[in-house]
Amino acid sequence: MNIKRKVITDKVVELPDNITLVDKHVDYLSCQCHEIPKGITAQEAYITMTSSQPKWLSMLFSIRDILGKVGGVKAVKGFNKLEKKDFEIYDKIHFFNIVEKSDDKLTLMLRDSHLDVCLCLVIVNSKLNSHTNELYLATSVKNKNFFGKLYMVPVSFMHPFIAKKLIFNINA
């Protein structure tokens, strides 16, 4: 198996070989892996993850949108409840564009003048439990300028906590 490796803090995380990253050389990479029930598609996992967000996360998105106006960053308003449940490639889901979609993979992309972001969800068979799958959630970022780097300072600290909190919505 061809495995990409990237150092995150002080440990090496192995990613499935079909993970899509924003670029060959990324400035930020965060990956979480979580066991989920079999029968859930990558799109269903994303919709379930983002269907409920804690108040503190809504507040962080509001702060982000207010501060982002200074740098000309478009407001994202967080993860609102989705009316539509089935999306196709090139559709917009929340503030991302869908660039890859299959039952076991969903790749979402956001590109603006300051940075490019890729969120990739990949589902693989669990190595430990035949009744579950493993969901990999990989977020990669390529900064384009100083404002992108500055924006990523607090985001890089908070993102792993936010991702873990949202992933827990799947088994809730």
Q: For residue 160, give the H/E element and its range.
A: helix 146-167
Out of 3.30.70, 3.90.1310, 1.10.10, 3.30.530, select the CATH number for domain 8-167. 3.30.530
Q: Do the Cβ atoms of 139 and 156 come closer than 8 Å?
A: no
Q: What is the pLDDT of residues 58-73, one digit of tens each?
A: 788 878 778 777 767 7
> What pLDDT is stored for residue 147 in this prediction?
86
Q: What is the pLDDT of residues 123-155, one digit of tens each?
A: 999 888 888 999 999 999 999 999 889 888 988
Q: Do the Cβ atoms of 112 and 74 come closer than 8 Å?
A: yes
Specify the pTM: 0.84
Give the start-to-end residue ranges of the domains of the chain.
Answer: 8-167
pLDDT exceeds 70 at position 106:
yes
Tokens of 141: 């970022």
Q: Do the Cβ atoms of 122 and 45 come closer than 8 Å?
A: no
